[in-house]
Amino acid sequence: MDSSRKPKALPQVLKEIDDAPTPVTGRATDYPSGWYIEPHAHTKHQLIYAVRGVMVVQARAGRWVVPPTRAIWMLAGMTHEIRCIGEVHMRSLQVATDAAPKLLGETRAVGISPLLRELIRAAMEVQQPYVPGTRDGRVMRLILDELRALPVLPLHLHMPSDPRLLQICELLQQRLDDSSTMADWARRLAVNVKTIQRLFVNETGMTFGQWRQQARLLRALELLAAGEKVIDVALALGYESPSAFATMFRKQFDQTPSQFFAEG
């Protein structure tokens, strides 16, 4: 990637937003296709949301692919980086830690309702600092109420810490069409199959097969967001046919790919 396109001053800009005295702060930024936001963290929680485009968000807690109907709730202090697929119109919220809903206690992917989407748009016009009880204050108060109802979504890929599992996961992400079984990996690494099975569940919350399917799904979202055809994505990721891929996609999201990427 062209390093000249990396916003090196961005962490300082975000620090200024973090210092705002109000419970909720909005920030609107438009990024060109392929833009990369270097690793950074906030002193406040952040709702990372884009009204247009798709983001790939990477943090210690995992990796997510985020279309306009979804967002990432990023905990304060969590270092993360963002890669833009296509032009991205980001409309993020900073939420003070003492004002955030208690239910949002970990970094996760969440759904964005039509009401919250419009409230986020409105928040971009609120002048800081706003006064509680005013129209602007009521908009921000309603945003906090809506955050309590955010649905959690399966867009997360948890990476293990065990070096043996990490080796498997990193190699699989390079070759997601690899159909090797767990027994095949056990032989390559000279590890007992049951040991790998136990470690996968303990460290990722998934079986080996579930983890590989989730990794394929997230890569599929990236490729589809970049404009790849369903048939090409299906074959590139090791599915027997486009219909098999489409069935898996609908089972996971109860939507077709075109519905999933709809921009509200």
The pLDDT, as a whole number, for residue 73 is: 94
- Residue range 89-97: mean pLDDT, rounded: 94
What's the length of the chain? 264
CATH code assigned to 3-147:
2.60.120.280
How sure is the predictor about 23, in pLDDT bands with cuts at 50, 70 and 90?
very high
CA–CA separation, 170 and 147 (whole Å): 34
What is the secondary structure of 67-128 as a DSSP string? -TTEEEEE-TT--EEEEEEEEEEEEEEEE-TTTS-TT--S-EEEE--HHHHHHHHHHTTPPS
Mean predicted lDDT score pLDDT of the chain: 85
For residue 53, is it left (φ>0), alpha (ψ between -120 and 50) or beta?
left
What whole-number distance in Å separates Cα of residue 9 and Cα of residue 58?
19
pLDDT for res 263:
55
Q: Which amino acid is present at 36?
A: Y
Q: Phi/psi of residue 94, each to 5°?
A: -105, 130
Protein fold of 159-260: Arc Repressor Mutant, subunit A (1.10.10)
Decide whether 3-147 matches 159-260 in CATH topology. no
pLDDT for 139 beyond 50: yes
Would you kindly state where each structural domain of the chain is located, as residue ranges?
Answer: 3-147, 159-260
